[in-house]
Structure 1
Amino acid sequence: MLYLRFFVVATLCGVLLSDEQVQWNQFRDFMVKYQKSYRNDLREVTKRFEVFKVSLERQKQLNLLEGSAVFGVNKFSDLTTEEFQARYLSGLQPSTLSIPKAQKVNLSVDLPAKFDWREQDAVTGVKNQLKCGSCWAFSISEGLESCYAIHYNKLVSLSTQQFISCDRNAQSYGCQGGTLGGAVDWLIEGKIIVVPDANYPFTSGDDTRPDCKANLPQKGVRLLNHTVKDYLDNEKGMAYDLNLVSPLSVTVNANIWQDYRGGIVRYHCTNTSIDHAVQVVGYDMTNDPPYWIVRNTWGPDWGVKGYIYIAMDKNLCGLAQTVYAFTKAEGVNL
């Protein structure tokens, strides 16, 4: 607190070092832009400013190393890496599922050089999991939305809260995490009808898990069939399935995503320590390097309006290792 008071007085007197002055100005603008609740708490402001300076240095180093992606200040810049991982990368439980390797085949259909399911009205708007470790639920519900839209030309936002509150199998723990395989098993084995988001909106952003809502309407989408494959060293095959089947629900390592602002991630995104689940909605092979278009669940004010671009053919971030495609779904009373 005393440090902060000195800092403010020194700022007014113009005696700070220029770098420190610039950093403080950035942090002040950051707190206002993201409406940080601690703005009037001197102790917390002091603490978060120190974290912010560490983030600036980390972002500087990433930009020097990366080359094409852009890393910089965003809404997560006042979190330590440990805090960020605990809050946003704790939602994927380890999976024991054995993933079959996708066969390499001679492509009988010429792939378009670029493709984006958003342009086909098969992708809902970017969502935000907030403090709930529910990436697994968002990834699967989004895949089901897209599958239904592709087959029935009707895009319906489906309830993620239903997964969080009602999926109680051994691999699903609400905001404390789950697996893609566990969520799919729950859908298939229980013949679950996932209701529209309007009938069961997301309420677990505060990291709570309310009891499953009783008497849900018999209205929504039911998953009938899916595939799960490992496309390691076979990302052209992955693009083939994305183009001809549906957007893909995948697991990734998202550690360096904390600072992502835009551009194409090409390096330093490991394919081990998988900790997050997202949806791949398209690709662009006309670019150098070619890249995947990946939809995240940290809100539209992160990344490129909620998306991140990841270079193809390198299994960057482990994106090609566990890939779900939803091949058949049916609407119920929609």
Structure 2
Amino acid sequence: MEVALLSLLILSILHVGTGLSLNYYDKTCPNYEATVTAAVKQAMATDNTVPAALLRMHFHDCFVRGCDGSVLLDSTANNTAEKAGPPNVSLHAFYVIDNAKSAIEAQCPGVVSCADILALAAKDAVALVSHNWGPTWKVPVGRLDGRISRASETSLLPAPTSNFAQLQQRFNQLNLSVKDLVTLSGGHTLGFAHCSSFQNRIHSSNSANGLDPTLNPSFASSLRKACPANNTANNAGATLDATSTVFDNMYYKMLLGGMSIFSSDAALLTHPKTKGFITTFANSQQAFNLAFVKSMLRMSSLTGGQEVRLNCRKVR
């Protein structure tokens, strides 16, 4: 009930697509897009986890107060910010946004929002690891940065243990469809999951052997080796799919084979409509690419900010 009420409160301050356009900065900051791309490329040259980090960061930003850069704000003496909330403590690569912002501020002071920079960086992250077969798109810009960032509101983020009804409800609250749900879950083709995110599937008290029965047995065995029951290693875990540094449709192929990491992934197979989308995307990279672009544009059109920050980590 508390989460539902919080969702209604936040929806009341969101404006879908208000003021966004492809030429918003054409006269005020014409090189903004190339500057963001350069910052992402520079970071990727030394850290192949950056693309997954930026895509996840954008998703986590948009699902709380809209795509307003609130996930970028640091905590203060009087406030614990979103990035300190339980789902966000593993977010990283904030420095990429900081670097892009600094470079843009040197060209066009006080013009380009941090929220726009994050949306652009997420697009670049996908395009740069797609090996010419993945999606790319033009990002409508004109978002404003939010002044509010609360760790308590990260409870609105879909959890890796969510069931289908919970996932569908959260997406519906943001006017996103079940197709958007399946499509955006495809972002799990990039990245790494810590053991704590999927312990419930490999060390459960709900089955005789402690395993989620929907898991492929050999895959479950590999997960248990990576994450023993008494694991204490902070960095232990597993990649989200077999090609975790490439944006492709492998996630869907593995999902159909019982080799998904999260309960929330497996939950997508429990409904005929979503299973149909999964099958389509597993069989066609092009179908996934087209759907991903549409869903990303819908998600990133959720706006709710009030200012353009000069520093992405603090309110102006």
- Structure number with larger C-alpha Rg: 1
More helix by share: 2
Q: Higher RCO, 1 or 2 (CA under 8 Å, sep at least 6)?
A: 2
Task: Please give the TM-score of this superposition, normalised by the length of structure 2.
Answer: 0.25
